[in-house]
Amino acid sequence: MLDDISRRRRPLRSLGASGQLGYGIPTPAFEAGLARSPDMIGVDMGSIDIGPSYLGGGKMAPTRVGAKRDLRKVLHAARRLDIPLIVGSAGSAGARPHLDQTLDIIREIAREDALAFRMAVVASDVPRVAIKRAIANGRVRPMDTMPPLTEADVDAASHIVGQLGLEAFRRALEADVDVVVLGRACDTGIFASIPALLGFPPGIAMHMAKIIECASLCCVPGGRDTILGILDDDGFELESMAPHRAATPSSVAAHSLYEQADPFEIREPSGRADLRQVAYRALDARRTRVEGATFEPAERMTLKLEGARMIGHRALLIAGAADPQFIARHAEIFAAVARVVRDLVCEDAVEDYRLLFRLFGVDGVRAWAEPPAQLPRETLVMGECIAPTPERAEEVIRTTKQYLLHHGYEGRLSTAGNLAFPFTPPEVMIGEAYRFNVLHLMDVDDMAGLFPVEVEKVD
Amino acid sequence: MRLDAIAKVIRSKNAGPCLLTLDVMLPDAATFAYVAARIDLLRRQVARRYGRSENEVAVLPYAPALAVKITLPRDVLAGDVGDRDVYGAQQHAPLLDIEL
């Protein structure tokens, strides 16, 4: 398949179909993109922004129905045009359960729609023994504000994945396949791996990849419509496949800021793209040409590890309050109720849970240093309990509801109840709660040994 | 001048689960130059409002998008117990009334 691409054309046309597969791929822009004879279709399914629950719990962020609808769309298109389909960060968090759910959907579509293709799969789960060995050898470093990684962290995490880079995508593509699916992976690898195989300059390819993996987010107005990136040896051109979205020099340049601490560089396991010398030039009102990114290979391959561990079971209380005194004195009321609850639920048990309150309107979104100048007329009260078992979390939150409703405080006027329940029961069982406990960098010598390519004939 | 009076975009988002990154995009080169010339003042103001020491706050002018990027540690790791904003998308409010 790669021979076909290299024979067919230079420049290379890449279609960024969706920045978050499973939430809908608008058909008009996608079809417009397919009409432009793309050489590949790429989709990213993942992000770490969605928090630790998906990684820890092995669950996809979108629904299976949504993921299947979108995968069906891109699979059919890729087979129709006979071009590679590359999927990164399968099933949102990219661990084995997410990858398996994604592969299961793909096989199901192939079966239902009589599609036949070769598929390469690379799982990104990192063997615990390899991480522990790396810790012992001083080859693991914390990211940002994380503490050093311990063996206990490694054992406690329910899943630990490594963000695979373009090297892994490359190995998958070299297996002569039609479809590539990776577990957790750098989004740049989706679109920079074919250029790497075809010998395009890596800095420019990585820069393009970083932009088109978000579909038309780099445009004004930004959105999720399919985008076309046309790569040559000196730069690339961007064009949204939705006519009302324009890729302008400033909108494209601004995209480098998005969710990045440093807008001048893009990192992946094999090195970094430097964007300091990049120039953005309008080709017309809707298309921008970008040149100038350079690539600096890393001295050694570095893998970004992500892991999440379960911390208990979460239950919520959701209610409203409109009494000015209750709102003004919420802190002391919450503290008093927490004590009453503790005395009750800990009569025969230890205090094995966390109970937290947020008062939306006052401190729901930020833990502000000072209260607002004027208190709100209405507030949302959210109680949250995290406990070792679902039963314990439910016990604590139901008890909290009862005593917060009827808590008597000095000067209280509303003696029939402190809370407004928009519905009952006002207690919600959320399920397992997780925290990120692994966000570290690990030096790796043998990526292929840790993350082998599995090839499968789907029909 | 108040930041929300001169900026075109003021937004926040995680840069990984540990960091919060805030983008202030200015409408033109003159306004960008005005803000870029006051980076130290901006850093001081941000540090105070977010309860951080100045050396925890990185402020970086980004001329290609006429923007200033501010990056600082999150108070709670994204999604951890007590977090209030897993994506970090509503942590820009303390910036709005900064006077430069």
Percentage of chain A modeled with pLDDT above 90? 94
| pLDDT at res. A371 | 86
Q: What is the average pLDDT score of chain B?
A: 97
For residue A311, give the H/E element and its range. Answer: strand A301-321
Task: Please compute the mean of the pLDDT values over residues A409-428 and round it to a whole number.
Answer: 96
For residue A431, give the H/E element and its range. Answer: strand A427-444
Partner-chain contact B78 A259, CB within 8 Å = no
- The confidence band for A8, taking pLDDT boundaries of 50, 70 and 90, is low
- The confidence band for A10, taking pLDDT boundaries of 50, 70 and 90, is confident
Task: Please compute the mean of the pLDDT values over residues A386-395 and round it to a whole number.
Answer: 98
Strand partners, A15: A41, A228
Spatial separation of the C-alpha atoms in residues B89 and B86, rounded to whole Å: 8
pLDDT digits (tens, 9 = 90+) for A294-320: 999 999 999 999 999 999 999 999 999
Q: Within an 8 Å CB–CB cutoff, is residue A403 touching chain B? A: no
Q: Closest Cα partner for A60 from A23, A98, A29?
A: A98
Nearest to B65 among A257, A365, A433 (CB): A257
3-class DSSP assignment, residue A182: strand
A351 C-beta neighbours (distance < 10 Å), count:
10
Contact A52, A58 (CB under 8 A): no
Nearest to B23 among A50, A143, A257 (CB): A257
Contact B54, B47 (CB under 8 A): yes
Structural tokens at position A221: 């107005």
Contact A120, A453 (CB under 8 A): yes
Partner-chain contact A259 B65, CB within 8 Å = no
DSSP state of A126: P
Backbone angles phi, psi at A99, to 5 degrees: -65, -45
Q: What is the average pLDDT score of chain A?
A: 96
Q: Residue A11: which residues within 8 A CB-CB, separation 6 or more?
A: A230, A231, A232
Partners of B82 on chain A (C-beta within 8 Å) are: 356
Q: What is the ipTM of this complex?
A: 0.94
- The confidence band for A18, taking pLDDT boundaries of 50, 70 and 90, is confident
- The confidence band for A7, taking pLDDT boundaries of 50, 70 and 90, is low
Partner-chain contact A48 B16, CB within 8 Å = yes
- 3-state SS of chain B is CEHHHHCCEEEEEECCCCEEEEEEECCCHHHHHHHHCCHHHHHHHHHHHCCCCHHHCEEEEEHHHCEEEEEEECCCCCCCCCCCCCCCCCCCHHHCCCEC
Q: Within an 8 Å CB–CB cutoff, is residue B53 touching chain A? A: no
Task: Please compute the mean of the pLDDT values over residues A193-210 and round it to a whole number.
Answer: 96
A vs B, Cβ pairs < 8 A, gives 113
pLDDT digits (tens, 9 = 90+) for A219-254: 999 999 999 999 999 999 999 999 999 999 999 999
Residue A1 in this model has a pLDDT that exceeds 80: no
- The confidence band for A5, taking pLDDT boundaries of 50, 70 and 90, is low
Q: Closest Cα partner for A266 from A200, A205, A184?
A: A205
Structural tokens at position A247: 């890729």
A95 C-beta neighbours (distance < 10 Å), count:
29
User: Chain B residue with minimal CA distance to A248?
Assistant: B65
| pLDDT at res. A6 | 64
3-class DSSP assignment, residue A385: strand
Spatial separation of the C-alpha atoms in residues A339 and A196, rounded to whole Å: 61
User: Chain A residue with minimal CA distance to B85?
Assistant: A365
Which residues, given as ranges, of chain B have pLDDT below 50?
Answer: none
| pLDDT at res. A206 | 97
Angle formed by the axes of helices A27-34 and A64-81, nearest 10°: 20
The region that residue B88 occupies, defined by phi over 0 for left and psi between -120 and 50 for alpha, beta otherwise, is: left
Q: Residue A8: which residues within 8 A CB-CB, separation 6 or more?
A: A39
Q: Within an 8 Å CB–CB cutoff, is residue B27 touching chain A? A: no
Q: How far is A344 from chain B (nearest CA, A)?
A: 23
Strand partners, A152: none
Spatial separation of the C-alpha atoms in residues A456 and A179, rounded to whole Å: 10
Q: Within an 8 Å CB–CB cutoff, is residue A259 touching chain B? A: yes
Spatial separation of the C-alpha atoms in residues B33 and A2, rounded to whole Å: 48
- Distances in whole angstroms, Cα of residue A167 to Cα of each of A186, A192, A451: 10, 10, 11
Spatial separation of the C-alpha atoms in residues A370 and A390, rounded to whole Å: 35
Contact A357, A401 (CB under 8 A): no
Contact A196, A175 (CB under 8 A): no
Residue A4 in this model has a pLDDT that exceeds 80: no
Partner-chain contact A435 B91, CB within 8 Å = no
pLDDT digits (tens, 9 = 90+) for B35-44: 999 999 999 9
A425 C-beta neighbours (distance < 10 Å), count:
12
Backbone angles phi, psi at A294, to 5 degrees: -120, 160
Contact A213, A192 (CB under 8 A): no
